[in-house]
Structures are given as C-alpha cells and as structure tokens.
Amino acid sequence: MKKTIAVAALVSIAGAPLAAVAVEYDDYARVLRVNERIDRYNQPRQECYTDGLTVAAPEAARPGVAGAVIGGLAGALLGSQVGRGDGKVAAAAVGAATGAIAGDRVQNAGAGASQPVQRCHMVDNYVTQVIGYTVKYEYQGRIYTENMNFNPGDTLRMRVSLMPMR
C-alpha cells in the first residue's frame, strides 16, 4: 500500500507540468468609444508676391547734364530762327528751355526703371495629424482602455490565453 501511494504521488507530481498547458482562442470585445489622439505642429511655409519697385540705374546710365546742354543749344538755335528783334531773343530763350527739358528726358529715360521684384516671407502653417486612437472596450463584463495605432470599429478581435496558476 505504501508503494502504491508513493507511485501515485510521484506520478501526480511529475504529471503536474504536463497539465499546465495553455489554451488559446480568438474572441471579440465590444468597443464602447474611440477617441483620436491628435498631434498639432507648426510647419512654416514661404509666401511670395511680386512688387513693382523703381530700381536705380547702373553707374553708366546715371543722370547727366549733357542731354540738357545739347537740347538747350539746339532749342536756342531753332528758336532764334523764329522771331525778329527782341522777339528773337525771347524765342531763343523759350527754345533753349524747351530743348534743355527734352534733352534731359531723352538722356535720362533709363535712369530709374520700375522692375518686378519678388518679396517673400515665412508664415505659420499649423498641421493636425492623427497619431493613434484611445479605445475603450468591454470584454466579459470588464471595461478596458488601450492606445492603438488603428481604429478597430465596433468590435475588437481578442486573443485569449488561458493557463492555470500554480
């Protein structure tokens, strides 16, 4: 009898680890609520527009007096041909003034030109991005909350593993 009890005890001790095999199966939990986890950050961008700006001419095209002098002389010569006596002097003076103005305009026409200039500046550009989901679900009467990378929908597939405790 003592021998039978000893063998039974030995078999039960040796067989205990064999009985502790895990059982796994798939089941479904009911999703109660899904909240998006959102990250908001600034991604600045450049905005540009075109502006008309008067730009100074190069050194060689800077305003000079040669055009006014030549125009004044030509105007005085033409004006002196028009009048008689004192009128000749007055016509020469008017011709000189008009010629000087015209000569100056011809010479300095390109002294300052309006050219399109592009102006740019940085503006804030806030971007919103979903980075995950906080999921609240119920499984076998208990409520759980988990952060996930996907939206599970109405049900959440569960992997259930059962193993006896020692």
Could you please report the per-residue DSSP string of 74-101?
A: HHHHHHHTT--THHHHHHHHHHHHHHHH
pLDDT of residue 8: 45
* Residue 73 to residues 66, 77, 106, Cα–Cα distance (Å): 11, 6, 15
Mean pLDDT confidence for 4-25: 58
Q: Which helix (H) or strand (E) holds 159?
A: strand 155-162
Could you tell me the residue ranges of all domains in the chain?
A: 18-43+124-162, 48-122
Among positive and negative, which fits the CA dihedral 67, 69, 72, 76? negative
Q: Is the pLDDT of residue 25 over 60?
A: yes
Please tell me the distance from the alpha carbon of residue 106 to that of residue 99, in angstroms, as a whole number.
10
- pLDDT per residue over 98-124, tens digit each? 766 776 777 666 656 678 888 999 999
Going by C-alpha positions, the residue among 93, 44, 101, 34 that lies closest to residue 70 is 101
- pLDDT per residue over 51-66, tens digit each? 877 666 555 555 667 7
Does pTM surpass 0.75? no
pLDDT of residue 96: 65
What band does 3 get if pLDDT is binned at 50, 70 and 90? Answer: very low
